[in-house]
Structure 1
C-alpha cells in the first residue's frame, strides 16, 4: 500500500461512538494520513456509518482503530464491505494487553493487525502483526515551550483513577502539600485534595500540561479481558507523547524500560520509582529551570521527529505494502 496518487484510506473505529471514549484518535490518524497522501485521499467515519462510507469512497485501505471488546459491533460487516470494494483491512488495537482475550475476533477479520503493546505482539496467532504505539497529534497537542517562570502549576496529571494511580498519589500526597498540584479525570476519591473529577478535552488537557513545571506519567493497571496470558503492559500510552508535544518535562513512573526506546532518561524524560522523588523533582525544577526547559525542548523535538500520527500513518502504509 504505497503512498501513490491512487492510494485512498478510510479510517474508522472498531466500536460505536456511543461507547468509544477514544473516538478523537480517529481524527488524529486521519490527519496523519492526510499529511502523507493528501486531504482528498483520506476520510474518516464512525463505525456506524463505515459501510456506507466504504461503498461511496471506495478506499484501497480501511484502517479500523480501537477496541474489539464490544460484542455488538458490526465488525464482520465492516470486513465484508472492505472486501467488496477490493480494499485491504487493517486493525490497530489500542487496548492491548488489557483486552487481549478478544484478540481472536480481530485475527479472524483483518489482513494485518497493529498492536499498541510490544509484549502483546508475540502472543498473536495472526500471520501479519506489527507493533505500533499510539502517538501525538500536532494539530491538537502541539504547544510552545513556555518559560518555567510563567508556569502556574508545579505538577499536573490527567487520567482515569485506576487503583494503581490512586495508591501512588495517596502515598505522595503528604510530600506534595504546599505545591501547586492539579489532577483531573474521573473516579478520583475525596481523600485526594488536589484531584477533581472533571474530564478535559484534549485541547484543554494540552493547555494545562503546558502550564505545568512537571507532568506525571503513570500507566494503567486494570485488565478488562487479560486472563489467558495475564500480559503486563510494556509500551507507554499516548499521554507520554502528547505531554512532550505540549512542551512540558515529564516524570514517568518506572513500570518498565521500553519508555527509553522513545525518550532518553535525563535528557528528555525523568523516571522515578519512589513517591518521594516527585517532590524532589519539583524542587529541582525550581532550582534548575534552564535544565528542565531544555529537557522539555528536546522531548518535544523528538516527538515531532518520530512520534506523531503522520509517522504512524507512514508505518501503516509501509506495512500494508510489504
Structure 2
C-alpha cells in the first residue's frame, strides 16, 4: 500500500520538476532569440597569463581566441621563455597574485625592457592593496574592476589605468537542468566573511522551514552554526557545480565581502568597495533571480526591480525573499530579463574588445 507521505513527495517532486523544466525552456527560448553579433577582429598575437580562476581564465582565453589572430595561454613561470620565442604583440596578465612566483615582477621588467607591451587586469580589488600598487608599476597598462582603485594606481606612477568590469563565461554559466540534488529556495555560495556570517546568523528564524543551501569555507564562524549546519556545505566546489546550484535555486543571494583590512583582506588603505563582483554576472547568466547588496556601479549594468533585486537591510532581504518565493511568475520574468541583459552586454566577448582597443589606443600603434 502506497503511503500518503510517498504520494505527497511524489506530487511535490513532479511539481518541482515541471517548474524547473518550464524555467529552463523559457530561458533557452530567450537565448535562441538573441541575435548573434559579428565579432571584431584584431590582428594581434596575445600571450595570456592566467591566474587560476577557472571561470575567468577560460572565459577570457576563449573570448580572445575568437577575436585575435592568435591567443597563447602560458603559465607565469614560462612567460619569459614563451614571449621571447613567440614575440606576441601584447602580454596580458590576469591578476598577478596568489599563484605567481616571487620573481614574476623581474620577469615583467625584463620583457618590458625587451620592448614587449604588457597589461594586467586586477580582479581582486580592493582586497589586496598592500600588494597590487607595487605590482602595477611593472606593467604598461593596468585594468581594475574596482572604481576606487583607479586613483590608487595612478598615484604610484602608472600612466595608463582603466576601470574595466569583469564579465561572464557564457559557455560555463548558462541555464541548465540542475536536478533534485541541487534544488533550493535560497542559495548562497561564497566564503563566510564576517558580514556574511552576521547576515545568516540574523536570518536563522526566517530560514526555518525553507530549503536552504550555504556553500563555501569558514562557515564555522557562524554564532548559530549548530542551527544552520543542516544548510551548510563547507568547502570549495568547482564552477561546474556552482552553475548547477545557481540553476537549482529559486533565489540566489549575493553579498559582497567587506573591505576592511584584517584576517580576510590585505587592504590597509581601507579603500571602499564601489564595484560589483564577478558573481553578479555569473548568477544572472544562469537565469535565476538574484538579490544583491548594493555597490555604486551596479546600475551601470543592471536595473533594480527590472533584471536584478537589491537589499539594504536584513528586513528588506527577508521581505523580498518572501515576496518572490510566493510570486513565481514575477520571479521567473525578472530572472529571464537578467539573463537577456547579461548575455547581450556582459560576457567576455563584450568586455575584451574594449580592453584591446584601450591597449592599442594608448601605445601599441606607436611601438
TM-score normalised to structure 2 length: 0.77
Q: State the match for 1:259 in structure 2.
A: 298
Question: Secondary structure of the equivalent of 1:207?
Answer: helix
Instruction: After TM superposition, give the deviation of residue 165 of structure 1 in Å.
Output: 0.7
Q: State the match for 1:225 in structure 2.
A: 266
Gaps of 5+ in 2: 1-39, 362-367
Question: Secondary structure of the equivalent of 1:140?
Answer: coil
Structure 1 pair 35/4, CA: closer, same or farther in 2 (3 Å)?
closer
User: For 1:1-322, what aligned pairs fall within 5 Å after superposition?
Assistant: 6-13=43-50, 22=53, 24-37=55-68, 41-68=70-97, 72-81=102-111, 84=114, 86-125=115-154, 126-144=158-176, 152-189=183-220, 190-191=225-226, 192-193=228-229, 194-222=231-259, 223=261, 224-228=265-269, 230-254=270-294, 256-322=295-361
Structure 1 pair 179/96, CA: closer, same or farther in 2 (3 Å)?
same
Question: Does the 8 Å contact 2:45/2:88 carry over to 1?
Answer: yes
Structure 1 pair 5/128, CA: closer, same or farther in 2 (3 Å)?
closer
User: Which structure shows the bigger proportion of residues in helix conformation?
Assistant: 2
Structure 1 pair 283/60, CA: closer, same or farther in 2 (3 Å)?
same
- Give a deviation string over 1:265-300, Cα, whole Å, max 9, x none: 000111112223333323322332111111111111
Number of equivalent positions: 307
TM-score normalised to structure 1 length: 0.87
Q: State the match for 1:17 in structure 2.
A: none
Instruction: After TM superposition, give the deviation of residue 78 of structure 1 in Å.
Output: 3.1
- Find the aligned partners of 2:113 and 2:210 in 1 and give their Cα distance: 56
Structure 1 pair 47/200, CA: closer, same or farther in 2 (3 Å)?
same
Instruction: After TM superposition, give the deviation of residue 311 of structure 1 in Å.
Output: 1.7
Structure (1 or 2) with the larger CA radius of gyration = 2
Instruction: After TM superposition, give the deviation of residue 73 of structure 1 in Å.
Output: 4.5
Worse overlay, 160-169 or 269-278: 269-278
- Give a deviation string over 1:120-141, Cα, whole Å, max 9, x none: 1122222110001122101111
Instruction: After TM superposition, give the deviation of residue 114 of structure 1 in Å.
Output: 0.2
Q: State the match for 2:36 in structure 1.
A: none
Question: Does the 8 Å contact 1:79/1:89 carry over to 2?
Answer: no
CA-based RMSD of the aligned residues comes to: 2.4
